[in-house]
């Protein structure tokens, strides 16, 4: 186990009857790129990783014992709604480990492993990611893939007291983004079976995207109601990090100032300046897309807005932070 200090899991897969883990050496390199996959690609270019690779049985991950930072927050989202921005803002903090959509987590959450083995592997995976490789780490924030909202109850079995939020946006704006360039979960067959599969949609691209988006929003609302998640609208960003989101993540005044260093940059393309695009997306949407989004997604979106207003009414100084049990305190 000590031999894997400073190594992180980058792939989990099944080989016949056995499960395997692929590891990559990161040393003290921070995970400060927009996505975990970006950091992996960069680390794999290191001469050490060109010469040496590690592969182990899943049991090594399940039996992880090295000291680690426990998960401090989970970020679920409806896609194309600012989750990468939040991750990049928090990644400015030296004491934060920010995992953005690590593929091994999705693989385990949607695996066919028996429940006990899966729970042990999930705990080990996040412990491996939570290593104090730099020595100053105090928080571990994980942003999941958009479709993982369906697996939220499974992750809560392992970390029932970790606070979480669900980030969403006007569904028409999200849908236009996927019409322009579809995410994996909006392209048939790309992610396999998932909780987003919805009977009753027709064969049009607009209907497929709208139906799956509606399913994400519906599950987000249901889980917020059942498990005390914090509903956050894209239109609250980035300012909410100075208010109730800053409280949610436990940021002090200095940290709140620090995270805004990247607020004006494009989260997925840090070399570009962010330009608001909500109005343009509404103008671009076809009548067919508007009708399908209204049919599939407007209801759960409005339900989320009602829930958000109840917990953070207009004019409030800011929502109180969540306690470790996920309930407001």
Complete domains list, the chain, with CATH: 68-95+138-311 (3.40.50.300)
| pLDDT confidence of residue 273 | 54
| pLDDT confidence of residue 53 | 86
Q: What beta strand segments (E) does the chain contain?
A: 7-15, 18-25, 54-57, 71-77, 96-100, 139-143, 164-168, 230-233
Tell me the two tokens of residue 164: 């979480």
SS3 label, residue 32? coil
Q: What share of the chain is helix, strand, coil (3-state, %, to 5)?
A: 45, 15, 35
Task: Indicate the pairing of strand 71-77 with strand 164-168.
Answer: parallel
Task: Name residues whose C-beta falls within 8 Å of residue 251's C-beta, 6 or more positions apart in sequence.
Answer: 93, 241, 259
| pLDDT confidence of residue 274 | 57
> Is residue 98 within 8 Å of residue 91, measured between CB atoms?
yes
pTM: 0.92
SS3 label, residue 148? helix
Measured distance CA(97)–CA(235) in Å, rounded:
25
Tell me the two tokens of residue 280: 């343009």
- pLDDT tens for the chain, residues 1 to 329: 678 999 999 999 999 999 999 999 999 999 999 999 999 999 999 999 999 989 999 999 999 988 899 999 999 999 999 999 999 999 999 999 999 999 999 999 999 999 999 999 999 999 999 999 999 999 999 999 999 999 999 999 999 999 999 999 999 999 999 999 999 999 999 999 999 997 766 679 999 999 999 999 999 999 999 999 999 999 999 999 999 999 999 999 999 999 998 876 655 665 555 567 888 999 999 999 999 999 999 999 999 999 999 987 554 444 333 333 333 32
Tell me the two tokens of residue 83: 């989750």
């Amino acid at each position: 186990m000590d031999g894997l200090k400073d190594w992180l899991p980058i792939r989990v897969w099944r080989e016949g009857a056995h499960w395997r883990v692929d590891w990559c050496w990161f040393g003290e390199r921070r995970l400060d790129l927009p996505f975990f996959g970006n950091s992996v690609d960069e680390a794999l270019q290191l001469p050490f990783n060109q010469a040496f690779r590690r592969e182990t049985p899943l049991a090594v991950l399940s039996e992880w014992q090295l000291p680690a930072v426990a998960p401090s927050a989970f970020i679920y989202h409806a896609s194309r709604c600012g989750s990468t921005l939040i991750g990049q803002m928090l990644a400015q903090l030296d004491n934060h480990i920010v995992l953005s959509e690590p593929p091994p987590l999705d693989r385990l959450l949607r695996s066919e492993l028996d429940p006990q083995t899966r729970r042990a592997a999930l705990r080990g995976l996040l412990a491996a990611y939570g290593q104090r490789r730099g020595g100053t780490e105090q928080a571990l924030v994980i942003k999941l893939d958009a479709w993982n909202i369906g697996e939220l109850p499974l992750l809560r079995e392992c970390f029932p007291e970790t606070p979480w939020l669900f980030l969403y946006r006007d569904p028409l704006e999200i849908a236009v983004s996927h019409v322009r360039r579809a995410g994996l979960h909006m392209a048939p067959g790309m992610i396999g079976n998932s909780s987003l599969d919805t009977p009753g949609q027709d064969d049009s691209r607009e209907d497929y995207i709208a139906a799956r988006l509606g399913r994400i929003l519906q599950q987000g609302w249901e889980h917020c109601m059942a498990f005390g998640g914090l509903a956050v609208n894209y239109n609250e960003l980035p300012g909410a990090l100075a208010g109730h989101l800053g409280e949610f993540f436990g940021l002090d005044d200095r940290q709140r100032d620090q995270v805004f260093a990247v607020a004006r940059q494009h989260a997925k393309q840090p070399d570009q300046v962010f330009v608001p695009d909500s109005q343009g997306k509404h103008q671009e949407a076809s009548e067919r897309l508007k009708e399908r989004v209204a049919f599939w997604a407007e209801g759960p979106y409005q339900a989320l807005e009602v829930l958000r207003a109840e917990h953070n009414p207009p004019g409030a100084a800011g929502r109180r932070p969540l306690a470790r049990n996920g309930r407001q305190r």
